[in-house]
């Protein structure tokens, strides 16, 4: 598994380079980055390792079509200050594609705390993403069968989850966020 994550980090480095983002330093998945358009700004990002997924616990209760499930531990921000961004690698074996959710850490922290208030006594917090066949990404941590049916069933006007903080689609492969800090 260690080699798998090393390979993902190498791919991440290529994505950064392809987007004219230079790695100033790296330490165990924590990166200091630089973009030529903002020479005085150091961008910090933390690559989060995925956790094992068990489809029974983390998957659909309603046979909702999901391309892939990815589960992560959100670092405890009370122990150390968060980076500017968390980078979640989301491998989609059905399509043979590696995606990255590039999310400002404050958004992850706020959404996780708000959505999972009952879990706050459990440290560290976890987030479970579902990547749908239409490349939409949702936080489906501890989703109930009813919640899944209500929020993730795709109707004529999209999903109910499209307009709430479960939706992480805008962060999927959005490297421009790193540049626009």
CA–CA separation, 9 vs 24, rounded Å? 15
Residue 141: domain span: 2-179
Residue 122: burial class (beta carbons within 10 Å; 0-12, 13-18, 19+)? exposed
pLDDT band at 3 (very low <50, low <70, confident <90, very high): confident
Distance (Å) of CA 172 to CA 53, 73, 120, 129, 167: 20, 18, 26, 11, 10
pLDDT, tens only, 68-92: 999 999 887 666 788 999 999 999 9
Asked if the model's pLDDT at residue 158 lies above 80, the reply is: no
pLDDT, tens only, 11-44: 888 888 888 898 999 888 889 999 888 888 899 9
Q: Are strands 97-104 and 85-92 parallel, antiparallel or unpaired?
A: antiparallel
Give the total number of structural domains in the chain. Answer: 1
CA–CA separation, 143 vs 58, rounded Å? 8
DSSP state of 160: G
Average pLDDT of the residues in 116-136: 78
pTM here is: 0.87
pLDDT score for 118: 62
pLDDT score for 137: 95
């Amino acid at each position: 598994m260690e080699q798998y994550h090393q390979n993902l980090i190498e791919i991440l480095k290529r994505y950064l380079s392809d987007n004219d983002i230079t790695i100033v330093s790296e330490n165990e998945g924590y990166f200091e980055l630089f973009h030529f358009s903002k020479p005085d700004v150091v961008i910090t990002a933390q690559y989060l390792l995925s956790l094992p997924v068990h489809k029974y616990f983390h998957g659909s209760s309603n046979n909702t079509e999901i391309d892939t499930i990815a589960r992560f531990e959100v670092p405890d921000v009370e122990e150390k200050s968060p980076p500017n961004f968390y980078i979640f690698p989301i491998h989609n074996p059905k399509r043979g594609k590696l995606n990255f959710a590039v999310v400002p850490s404050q958004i992850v922290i706020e959404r996780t705390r708000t959505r999972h208030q009952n879990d706050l006594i459990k440290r560290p917090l976890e987030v479970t993403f579902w990547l749908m066949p239409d490349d939409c990404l949702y936080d489906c941590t501890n989703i109930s069968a009813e919640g899944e049916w209500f929020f993730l069933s795709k109707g004529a006007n999209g999903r109910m989850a499209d307009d709430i903080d479960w939706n992480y689609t805008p962060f999927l492969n959005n490297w421009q966020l790193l540049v626009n800090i």
